[in-house]
A and B are shown apart, each in its own frame.
Chain A
């Protein structure tokens, strides 16, 4: 049974995001339905940058290969916006699949994609070219391509519906909606879409039953960062009380 079928059987499942070895190790023990190796979080780990667009495909793929060895979980990799043109998307998809990805997520930003709340959107033709290129690059028929639509602020609900029809025709397996409010998601799910629908998730997201699954954007990384801050303050307090003595 593929991940989409499992998600349908288990509504409101959240797929955790990871971007470092200890989270991957932890999730390997927890056995979630899948793990998302986020480009943004990988960029944080490898480059100390909070922006997916700064990490190259080869740097990310090397990290993916290392993480693949450490987890049996279904691994979702970040194809970003294809790392260039549809031609780049073809070779990037091929490399990420060979590096151990079970599912790739292609977003609809122009290249380079950036981790930001209001990203620009590429043309439908460019997105379709990258979609077809990625699908043509796959060797394993079980590998899936999910498309993350990040431009609801640019093209609205109608734009999503239209893109869903195009992308379904081109062979994409699912859609993920990013940067949408609960009301927008409610409106979107009020009529059937051409593809299974997922949405990105944060701790503030209101989950809706009509959404097949939720893609976490970094809750574990945020919790780890808060724990680091707390530990650092304890460390400072410890140093101060030692100095006072």
Chain B
């Protein structure tokens, strides 16, 4: 089985296993590799982190399809665990959704979510969101299902209606998205533990995702609790971005203050360890493998 098929199958099996799949959003390929090496089962490629990493800008619908797809592709190619992707609103109308699905499937993503915000969208935990009429995402989910080549490529619906019209509307919309063919359901930004319970009660047999943002609208809940509540996926979308930003700020302040990075060195990976982490020895070995003297065996 080729990597793309293997990753899709692996992710679907994990999501349907009854155990929760915990994922960090990786802002880039290096962060994804860190996640993989620390034992993650899968990683997520998502808009907030891509927007921050590629543009140093907020998740306000400025980063586009091409940027998100390319970042996700880099992540997929860097790791050997499944990568699920945030496809925002599908980047336009039904024709765009078709291209989005075809493209993410071709690069080897395990699946995508598509949401019902009005474009330009914003992070689900920001104020001022607007949602489209339910029919819009309903049609996009149908188009996405029709466009996918493999059943293992999972389509998740995301609704942002909780903040705009309340939880009941978010649940009602998600039921329609499920009926339209969504394999997985994601109700963004519930505002209490009780709302997480209510979401599971509304979808007792459908795989659900929870989104844990530090300082976001949803109370940070332990993975074990979410698993007990019946959630199948938990994603931590901003933690790696915030950690990078914090650490880099501390580093630069140290340099400004001391004129050297020496005082911060204990917080860094070392030169040899980093080279080992990114596989320098393997690359050097591969380089040596094709050296001219080794090719004499074919002559």
Are B3 and A128 within 8 A (Cβ)? no
Q: Which residues of A contact B296 (CB under 8 A)?
A: 125
| B38 at the A interface (CB under 8 A) | no
CB proximity to A under 8 Å, residues B241-299: 283, 286-287, 289-296, 298-299
Query: Interface 1/0s, chain A 195-228, versus B by CB < 8 A?
Result: 0000000000000000000000000000000000
Q: Which residues of B contact A53 (CB under 8 A)?
A: none
Are B107 and A65 within 8 A (Cβ)? yes
Q: Which residues of A contact B70 (CB under 8 A)?
A: 62
Report, as a range, how many residues of chain A touch the other chain: 20 to 34
Known contacts A86-B287, A166-B299; decide if A126 and B3 are in contact (CB<8 Å): no
| B77 at the A interface (CB under 8 A) | yes
Task: State A73–B17 Cα separation when bound (angstroms).
Answer: 38
| B224 at the A interface (CB under 8 A) | no
Known contacts A68-B106, A98-B108, A140-B2; decide if A128 and B295 are in contact (CB<8 Å): yes
A-B CB pair tally, cutoff 8 Å: 59
Report, as a range, how many residues of chain B touch the other chain: 20 to 34
Task: State A169–B298 Cα separation when bound (angstroms).
Answer: 6
Contact of A65 among B106, B289, B291 (CB under 8 A): B106
Are A132 and B290 within 8 A (Cβ)? yes
Q: Which residues of B contact A125 (CB under 8 A)?
A: 292-293, 295-296, 299
Are B106 and A128 within 8 A (Cβ)? no
Q: Is the interface of B mostly helix, strand, loop or mixed?
A: helix
Are B286 and A129 within 8 A (Cβ)? no
Contact of B292 among A62, A65, A123 (CB under 8 A): A123
Are A69 and B292 within 8 A (Cβ)? no
| A87 at the B interface (CB under 8 A) | yes
B287 to chain A, nearest CB (A): 4
B147 to chain A, nearest CB (A): 11
Are B298 and A98 within 8 A (Cβ)? no
Known contacts A87-B286, A139-B2, A139-B3; decide if A129 and B103 are in contact (CB<8 Å): no
CB proximity to B under 8 Å, residues A18-61: none
A contact residues vs B (CB 8 Å cutoff): 62, 65, 68-69, 85-87, 90, 95, 98, 100, 123-126, 128-130, 132-133, 136, 139-140, 166-167, 169-170
